[in-house]
Amino acid sequence: MTTTNNNIAAKPTASMAPTASATPATAAKAAAPVAPSAWLIDLVLLGALWGASFLFMRIGAAEFGALPAAAVRVAIAALFLLPIALLRGQGPSLAKHWKASFSVGVFNSGMPFALFCFALLTINTGLAAVLNATTPMFGALVAWAWFRERPAGSRIVGLVIGFAGVAMLASRSAGLHAGASGHAALWAVLACLGACLCYGISASAARAHLGGVPALTTATGSQIGATLFLAIPAIWLWPAQMPSMRAWLALLALGVACTGVAYILFFRLIERAGPARALTVTFLVPVFALFYGAVFLGESITQWMLICAAVIVCGVALSTGIVKFNLPRSKASA
């Protein structure tokens, strides 16, 4: 896999540029622009997988509890990814970058998964997915502070439109579980926003310290790191009663599809399109989450939901640069 594209990342770090030993052909390939078609399929597929994750987290957390459910999820993902990484010769790369990938895993998996599982004990999957769509805002703030990057032009407009669509959706989205108190709801919302902040930190950390590292290495190391981070709390809080097969299957789907496969796609998106564009996948997640809720939970899809989905998709197209327009500029006086 080539290094992160310098034309997409506004201010690439040294680790993202071709190494001095690279051949001219390799350097030219690394510097070539990445067309949207190269990563757009990954973006949509990732949104579909992460949209399903909220349903599975709610099923698993209800019986396992928040921390054990998150721990089982990342442990399954690590067990799924590690053999693949070793078979593809990624062992040396994983050993070389284990500190950075393990640390990134705490912020991109361990903490946010536990926070969302905690939140889903109180709020419904649709509301959690809508709150998850604030991730690009936190990502932009972290990137601004970390790399001194400020998004401009149509990408800012896209972020505003996307978040407006999310706010519209939240105004009539599913809310609390039956019997949940207002204080519990407040803590659940704060947990979701804390998870989004963790995602923003992890994206910039991966760019700064894991640029050019193969996506499979980063994904595998991050899940191992998250497993180690959650292991002791999960053992301490393990449920006294054995969870049902339904809960185990939900966490198996979470670990393999929604985590193992999804994080390979996520880190590949960061390398191909940059962290800001990769994070805009969270605008698609509520659309898929509401669709899955309608199909598998019998939730209704209203005309309002379809309007909000269209607004969100427009925001994604602008914020990722798929659709661009030039903002008018005032001409200097003669």
Domain extents in the chain? 35-319
Please tell me the predicted confidence (pLDDT) of residue 256. Answer: 95
Helix (H, G, I), strand (E, B) or coil at 176: strand
Longest dimension (CA), the chain: 79
Query: Alpha-carbon distance 242 to 143, whole Å?
Result: 43
Of the pLDDT bands very low, low, confident and very high (cuts 50, 70, 90), residue 136 is: confident
Return the C-alpha torsion angle 204, 103, 46, 17, nearest 10: 50
Q: Are the C-beta atoms of 6 and 33 separated by less than 8 Å? A: no
Measured distance CA(159)–CA(164) in Å, rounded: 8
Check pLDDT > 50 for residue 102: yes
pTM for this predicted structure: 0.75
Q: Give the dihedral sign, CA 173/177/179/183.
A: negative
Determine the pLDDT at residue 114.
96
Q: What is the pLDDT of residue 242?
A: 94
Residue 3 has which token pair? 């290094």
Tokens matching residue 241: 């009663």
Q: What is the pLDDT of residue 6?
A: 34
| DSSP state letter for 257 | I
User: pLDDT tens for residues 19-77?
Assistant: 233 333 333 333 344 666 678 888 899 999 989 999 999 999 999 999 999 999 999 99
Distance CA(32)–CA(39), nearest Å, equals 14
Q: Which amino acid is at 147?
A: F
Residue 18: the pLDDT is 27
Mean pLDDT score, 162-170: 75
Tell whether the model's pLDDT for residue 331 goes beyond 70: no
Q: What CA–CA distance (Å, rounded) separates 254 from 122?
A: 20
Is the per-residue pLDDT at 166 higher than 60? yes
Q: For the segment 303-326, what is each residue's pLDDT rounded down to a tens digit?
A: 776 787 788 778 777 776 667 776
The arithmetic mean of pLDDT across residues 139-159, rounded, is 77
- Token pair, residue 302, equals 């209203």
Tokens of 332: 């200097």
Tell me which of 59-68, 119-128, 244-253 is least confident.
119-128
Least confident of 27-36, 85-94, 135-144, 188-197: 27-36
Identify the bridge partners of residue 329 per DSSP, sorted by sequence position: none
